[in-house]
Structure 1
Amino acid sequence: MRRWALLILTLICVSVKDISGSWEEWWTYDGISGPGFWGLINPQWSMCNKGRRQSPINVEPDKLLFDPWLRDIQFDKHKVSGVLHNTGQSLVFRVEKDSKHQVNISGGPLSYRYQFEEIYFHYGLEDNRGAEHQIDKHTFPGEIQLYGFNKELYHNMSEAQHKSQGVVGISLMVQIGEPTNKELRLITSAFNKVIYRGSSFPIKHLPLSSLLPSTQQYLTYEGSTTHPGCWETAVWVIFNKPIYISKQEMYALRRLMQGSQLTPKAPLGNNARPVQPLHYRTVRTNINFNKISQGTSNCPDMYRNMHYTATQWPREHSMRYRSIEDLEMLSPA
């Protein structure tokens, strides 16, 4: 059955390639053009199926390695302008190439300065799915990924994504709740402007550093881009605290469609690549478990809770995730 599906897909994609001249037009997140087939059709995307340092992953808290040499992540304070695009596969914000002030990302596990390039939005059509990375097999409703390229070694993202240490991916887990980030509304308020594939909307003066959660605790590992061609050139940083958007904003996001206004097709959501095998890679963290777990016998044992944990809202009975900072606030010694 898989051989027949592959043959049919090959014929379809050859036809699409002849018409559009680009592989970027046909891939999706489901069916015979979904993640399981990305690397089988286009030879340039072979890492999607053959790679052994692929992303996203499920982070296992009991296997994290504390690294005392990990520094804080640094973002330039400049504001950026760009365009929000509905590509038919994802919602993507791309910065203006000729912008006078570019945002550099440095510190953390990074040995070089990386120039911010784009933001990808991954989200589910239901609250129990959407994010690409998982924490102890728990999935958030969404994940915002900030990508940058190594500006000290390479000229642009197109070059860097094929080269060693070429890309940084910053992962922000998204939870539904009371928004605490007013700057994020510069993007969420534009969701209704990009409902259909090919639509775009300009966004001016976005303070990128203000989008980040109020923590310097993070996890990091070496992986790949989570979209084709799955290049294994990415250093990933996953912040240990979610950011929040409202139910109304998530509703507007879930209204986005894969197709045009004439042929809207299916909703754009559920655009997450499945988690990939870790293959003995190390996931490091700057959270010192032993130091935080020390204290009197009256304090809760924090060692087992150094990660996002699930609990229940008493009123809504919906899944919520808390970081270690939230746990410390709720259970003071």
Structure 2
Amino acid sequence: GTGLDPQHPIKISPGLCPPSPSSGSVRVSLPVSLGQVSKSGGTRQSPINIQRRDSVYDPHLQPLRVSYDPASCRCIWNTGYFFQVEFDDAAEQSGISGGPLENHYRLRQFHFHWGAVDERGSEHTVDGHTYPAELHLVHWNAAKYPAYEEAVLGEKGLAVLAMCLQAGARHEALQSTDTRAPGSCSQDRRAAMGPFNPSCLLPACQDYWTYSGSLTTPPLAESVTWIIQKQPVEVAASQVSAFRELLFSPLGEEEEFMVDNCRPRQPLMGRRVRSSFRPLKWG
């Protein structure tokens, strides 16, 4: 059929939902051309290129504590920019703490960014290397702000746990979806989603980089503590290509396939990127 049937929710691949920190009342009028989100005038914009040799090892950075309750998963939503899987964030059921964070941050949603081809798609790059896709798990600081909408615009309001996806072995946790269903999902369509634990999307290695940055979609607020996993997650090329069948366009309008929903890299502007691990010694 066309669109999502709430009575028969699609199985979403755990590691392939588009990444963007906008949800709820912070709506994005998209698709957005890359030019529209390339400048904001800020000094802590994201994404960035991470230079391994320039990152600073911080021995005080502790491992990140991740606790997700599968029952808090609520629905999948085509925002018109990416696919977003949303969670119940009314309580502390699912969230992260530790690492560079001073408080517990509640999981709000996760999403993916990807390119039209495997040579591009990730928002962050490492030593200039671009990956086919990037996953963002978006959390907000409920200890400091009464609501997600306020945290979006507030200092240290959000924490985004990010990881790049690289072509390799099939990711079994990314359930083999009804690949035709995502292709018919048009803008602003929603479907109920059963229990799902996004922990299965995380790499085995806990090493990460962290820096202060922004949302990569409007309002581009500089409220984000970015935590970027060092180890990419392997997925089959076919699993990424299935995303390219999703639609930017609303139901009934001319089809516009959802690709290249990523923002260009932004200047570092003197910011320091810290690492939880000792970098390799360079000769």
Sort the TM-score into its range (normalised by shorter chain): 0.7 to 0.9
* Kept after mapping to 2: 8 A contact 1:28/1:35: no
Given residue 176 of structure 1, which amino acid in structure 2 is its aligned partner? A
Alpha carbons of structure 1 residues 231 and 63: separation in structure 2 relative to 1, 3 Å: same
**Equivalent pairs, count:** 257
Cα deviation for residue 63 of structure 1 reads 0.6
The one of 139, 146, 149 equivalent to 2:130 is 139
What's the counterpart of residue 83 of structure 1? 75
Question: Does residue 261 of structure 1 match 2:262?
Answer: no
What's the counterpart of residue 281 of structure 2? 303
> Within 1, Cα distance between the matches of 2:180 and 2:92?
25
Question: Does residue 30 of structure 1 match 2:20?
Answer: no
Cα deviation for residue 210 of structure 1 reads 2.2
Alpha carbons of structure 1 residues 212 and 150: separation in structure 2 relative to 1, 3 Å: same
| RMSD of Structure 2 on Structure 1 (CA) | 2.3
What's the counterpart of residue 149 of structure 1? 140
TM-score normalized with structure 2 length = 0.84
* Kept after mapping to 2: 8 A contact 1:197/1:259: yes
> Within 2, Cα distance between the matches of 1:206 and 1:119?
12
> Within 2, Cα distance between the matches of 1:112 and 1:97?
15
* Kept after mapping to 2: 8 A contact 1:71/1:109: yes
Matched-pair identity in %:
28
> Within 1, Cα distance between the matches of 2:159 and 2:277?
20
> Within 2, Cα distance between the matches of 1:74 and 1:192?
34
Question: Does residue 245 of structure 1 match 2:247?
Answer: no
Cα deviation for residue 142 of structure 1 reads 0.2
Q: Deviations over 1:33-90 (max 9, x none)?
A: x314xxxxxxxxxxx5111000000111111100000000111142131211111111
Runs of 4 or more consecutive aligned structure 1 residues displaced over 4 Å after TM superposition: 188-191
The one of 158, 169, 191 equivalent to 1:178 is 169
What's the counterpart of residue 206 of structure 1? 196
Alpha carbons of structure 1 residues 214 and 89: separation in structure 2 relative to 1, 3 Å: same
What's the counterpart of residue 181 of structure 2? 192
What's the counterpart of residue 87 of structure 2? 95
Alpha carbons of structure 1 residues 233 and 91: separation in structure 2 relative to 1, 3 Å: same
Cα deviation for residue 152 of structure 1 reads 0.8
Flag the structure with higher helix content. Answer: 1
Structure 1 unaligned regions, length at least 5: 1-21, 37-47, 290-301, 306-333
Higher Cα Rg: structure 1 or 2?
1
The one of 57, 72, 75 equivalent to 1:66 is 57
Given residue 208 of structure 1, which amino acid in structure 2 is its aligned partner? P
Q: Deviations over 1:292-311 (max 9, x none)?
A: xxxxxxxxxx4249xxxxxx
* Kept after mapping to 1: 8 A contact 2:214/2:220: yes
**Aligned-partner SS, 2:53:** helix
Cα deviation for residue 265 of structure 1 reads 3.6
